[in-house]
Amino acid sequence: MTDSTSISFTTSNRGKRLLIYSGYIFRLKKSTMKVKYWACHSDGCVANVHTDKNDHFIKSNGQHHHMPEPKQIELRNLKRKVKERVKTETSSIPQIYKEELARSNLSSTALTLASTATAGKSGLNRVRRKTTPTIPTSTEFDIPEFYSQTLDGTQFVCTDKIIKKTRMILFATDTQLETLFSSEWIFLDGTFHSCPEQFQQIYTIHCLKFNQTWHNRFNNRVEKYHPNVWHFFECQKPEELLFCQQLGKLNAGIQKKTCNICISRKQIDTLTEQYEQEQITLTDFLYGLSTLVAKRSTKSL
Ligand SMILES: [Zn+2]
């Protein structure tokens, strides 16, 4: 049996210390030289706990007007562990969450609660942003995992190469490429002025599929001022998520056309190689890329 006076501590979402006592959560209400007064965190509940200044249990008073919340406590502990790791590690947030969930031995009720808690991931993203890596001033920098993946941890940086002393970073998930290569129409667009300053141009390739295009919305986002590369990299993530959600809806009603992604990738590589070896110009390269897309789209029609 656990000691009836045993107390433990956890952290609130805002980083405040919480006391746990016999299945209930208390927050610090007042502290004097000798005694800390902890009040039940449930609104209107009069139950409270007194500890000494070294957090040793003194006594508990009053009756709770509600049931204990052991599941909430399990969940809080899980969140605290995840948050700690998000602050100190560079692994992707979903990966950390998955690992801690597996390690946590949560009861099934708490597990159900935990899956809905992924909605709180934006809070974790905020924690991660506080530890943003140094802002690069040249094109020579490593892309941390956080910025090379989508919100759900899928590889987002598709190609990252130095071509004729110029760095080219291509963002696309396999699903996006597949959609692009099987679409009826494609649009190409380049912008210079909103580009992070150490790069020359942001070049976008959009597609029209099932009469659905992401062109304008995406462009508005891209054309905003980006103070640094991390800002730019990050702004694409919500777009990718939106793309997945919309594609999911579209595919639910329409049979997806499949195409061999490997062939497409190989052709992109060949083009890139030709450009690298200066066999073709940048315009030829971009044109080649677009005709490659167009050709594949026609085939799949
Ligand atoms: Zn209470």
Residue 11: give its domain's CATH number: 2.20.25.240
Question: Both 86 and 198 in a single domain?
Answer: no
Compute, in angstroms, the gap from residue 62 CA to the centroid of ligand 1.
Answer: 9
Compute, in angstroms, the gap from residue 49 CA to the centroid of ligand 1.
Answer: 11
Domain of residue 102 covers 77-130
Q: How many structural domains are present in the chain?
A: 3
Compute, in angstroms, the gap from residue 48 CA to the centroid of ligand 1.
Answer: 8
CA dist 261 and 264 (Å) reads 5
Question: Both 118 and 154 in a single domain?
Answer: no
Model pLDDT for residues 16-43, shown as the tens digit of each residue? 899 999 889 999 999 999 999 999 998 8
* Cα distances (Å, whole numbers) of residue 173 to 16, 149, 168: 39, 9, 16
Long-range contacts, stretch 278-287, CB < 8 angstroms, 24+ apart: 278/164, 286/188, 286/203
Question: Both 56 and 153 in a single domain?
Answer: no
> Is residue 129 within 8 Å of residue 237, measured between CB atoms?
no
Question: Both 288 and 154 in a single domain?
Answer: yes
Question: Both 26 and 157 in a single domain?
Answer: no
3-class secondary-structure state, position 68: coil
Compute, in angstroms, the gap from residue 47 CA to the centroid of ligand 1.
Answer: 5
CA dist 295 and 298 (Å) reads 5
* Backbone phi, psi, residue 66, to 5°: -150, 170
Q: What is the pLDDT of residue 147?
A: 85
Residues whose Cβ atom is located within 5 A of ion ligand 1: 40, 42, 45, 47, 64
Residues in CB range of 8: below 8 A, 6 or more apart: 19, 20
| Residue 97 domain-assigned (yes or no) | yes
Predicted confidence band at 297 (pLDDT cuts at 50, 70, 90)?
A: very low
Least confident of 216-220, 228-232, 295-299: 295-299
Question: Both 97 and 204 in a single domain?
Answer: no
Find how far residue 138's CA is from the centre of its chain.
Answer: 25
Residue 220 has pLDDT above 80, yes or no: no
Compute, in angstroms, the gap from residue 187 CA to the centroid of ligand 1.
Answer: 59
Compute, in angstroms, the gap from residue 57 CA to the centroid of ligand 1.
Answer: 17
* ipTM (interface pTM): 0.98
Question: Both 284 and 153 in a single domain?
Answer: yes
Model pLDDT for residues 114-132, shown as the tens digit of each residue? 655 554 555 677 666 666 6
Question: Both 244 and 154 in a single domain?
Answer: yes
| Residue 212 domain-assigned (yes or no) | yes
Tokens of 115: 């899956």
